């Protein structure tokens, strides 16, 4: 059996009195790529924020296990040291720093792993060309590459990508997902949150569909039907979904 990298059990999350996650059971094994799909507001980003320690509202220590260790409630910087790295929605990079400075900032907490500047530049050659350019001089696709590269610089055991295709032209989305295929081929375990069902199905070994803070479907791309996905995604019953 491959080693479990991340496991959550009955994970809940709250924004004040508002409950956003209602008991998520999730598991990903070493080397696997899992896509989380779901409509706006389904709780996908909240799930990533909760496991990376950015939202510590409802999780008890044992609710989140990372590489066999209970980590619920640990702060984000400790989880980076453990080997978790997040590519946040919105490609947040430091705009006043150059591409290279942004990438090096990603290696701050965790050094000496299998990713370094040369490997990130090999993955995204355009970043090498633009390494002395500031964040404000980059296109949306290049900003996304920096955000992914910066996360890789900590040589994560688990890479969590939140809606990396959002707002990008289809040709750039293809470049980003080809890079994710290469990251995956090098053995990194990857979770992608993705609204586009076709993109999710093409990259993932397994999918989880979230609906209103709950897992509404899980399975392998070849084993779940379009009707099942539509029902789980939009909350339609099968008869409505087929209409």
Binding site for ligand ATP (CB under 6 A): 15, 18, 20, 38, 40-46, 195
Is the separation of the CB atoms in 189 and 51 below 8 Å? Answer: no
Taking the complex as a whole, how short is the minimal distance between the CB of residue 87 and ligand ATP, in angstroms?
A: 14
Sole residue written with tokens 């709250």: 14
3-state secondary structure of 59: coil
**Angle between helix 140-152 and 99-106 (nearest 10):** 30
What are the tokens at 138?
């980059």
Residue closer to ligand ATP by CB (options 90, 125) is 90
Residue closer to ligand ATP by CB (options 24, 176) is 24
How do 4-15 and 64-66 pair as beta strands? antiparallel
Taking the complex as a whole, how short is the minimal distance between the CB of residue 166 and ligand ATP, in angstroms?
A: 8
3-state secondary structure of 27: strand
Stretch (H or E) spanning 7? strand 4-15
Taking the complex as a whole, how short is the minimal distance between the CB of residue 98 and ligand ATP, in angstroms?
A: 29
Taking the complex as a whole, how short is the minimal distance between the CB of residue 137 and ligand ATP, in angstroms?
A: 27
Is the separation of the CB atoms in 34 and 207 below 8 Å? Answer: yes
Residue closer to ligand ATP by CB (options 6, 20) is 20
Residue closer to ligand ATP by CB (options 107, 168) is 168
Residue closer to ligand ATP by CB (options 124, 208) is 208
Residue closer to ligand ATP by CB (options 12, 44) is 44
DSSP string for residues in 199-240: HHHHH-SEEEEEETTEEEEEE-TTTS-HHHHHHHHH---HHH
């Amino acid at each position: 059996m491959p080693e479990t990298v991340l496991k959550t059990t009955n994970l809940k999350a709250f924004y004040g009195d508002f409950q956003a996650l209602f008991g998520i059971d999730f598991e990903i094994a070493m080397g696997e790529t899992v896509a989380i799909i779901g409509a706006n507001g389904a709780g996908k980003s909240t799930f990533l924020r909760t496991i990376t320690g950015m939202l510590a509202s409802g999780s008890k220590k044992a609710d989140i296990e990372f590489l066999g260790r209970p980590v619920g409630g640990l702060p984000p910087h400790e989880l980076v040291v453990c080997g978790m790295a997040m590519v946040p929605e919105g490609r947040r990079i430091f705009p006043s720093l150059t591409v290279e400075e942004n990438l090096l900032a990603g290696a701050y907490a965790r050094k000496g792993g299998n990713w370094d500047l040369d490997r990130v530049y090999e993955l995204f050659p355009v970043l090498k060309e633009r390494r002395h350019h500031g964040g404000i001089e980059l296109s949306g696709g290049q900003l996304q590459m920096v955000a992914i590269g910066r996360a890789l610089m900590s040589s994560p055991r688990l890479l969590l990508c939140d809606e990396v295709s959002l707002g990008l032209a289809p040709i750039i989305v293809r470049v980003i997902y080809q890079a994710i295929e290469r990251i995956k081929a090098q053995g990194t375990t990857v979770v992608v949150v993705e609204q586009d069902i076709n993109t999710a199905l093409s990259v993932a070994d397994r999918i989880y569909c979230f609906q209103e803070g709950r897992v509404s479907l899980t399975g392998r791309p070849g084993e779940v039907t379009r009707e099942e996905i539509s029902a789980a995604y939009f909350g339609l019953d099968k008869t409505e979904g087929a209409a």
